Structure 1
Amino acid sequence: MAVALLASGACWGGDVKEQLSSETQAAEAALRQVCAGVASALEPVDRKHFEEAQQKWLAFRDAEASFQAGLTSMGGSAYSTDYQAERLAMTRERIKLLKKVLESVK
């Protein structure tokens, strides 16, 4: 999985945690932006359902990232890096999906 590569530093030079933090902040901003676009393109009843689904997805993402990080780090010192890397990967996938949704509702 990508988490192992990210945690090992194989994908980036320099400080992996710093890079992950920077990439995560950018992805979170992009996710908020695309969510706002989707929400504004929907009818009120659909917007409510989307917002509920998005909140549940965020909870799932965090729980799944924690689960995956626990598997890859086996509870060791790499847990936080693995968690952030998995969370980032899932966020990027969600952004791709929501961009497709946005195109379909425009």
Structure 2
Amino acid sequence: MSLAKDWVRPRPEFTDHFAITARISAEGENFPGDLHDAWQKAGPLRVQRTLAARMARLAERGLLHVLDSELAAQHFVVLVTNTWGRGRAGVDALSDTETHEIAAAGVHAFLHGYLPRD
């Protein structure tokens, strides 16, 4: 749950980082392709690969049922970062209650799809 909460509302010391990330995401098509690709490889794709590797290890231990760890990582991120209608991540502060609700709902949905069924 802590990881999900950190993803919903990043720590204050990373505010500048996430402001830049939001700007790049919003204006990505205006950046030269090789610059945007380099940023993707160094940041978002590296994080996704790391999360996917963790998901694969959890699956190896029988704690998750994961056929495609990269897809599972994408699902987790999408589910715990759904702040539609609740402000803009990194711009409008979410309350502790909102952060908990979003993270809990995302984790619940993720586990519903990825917990082993036996």
Q: Taking structure 1 as the reference length, what is the TM-score of the superposition?
A: 0.33
If the length of structure 2 is used for normalisation, what is the TM-score? 0.31
Higher helix share: 1
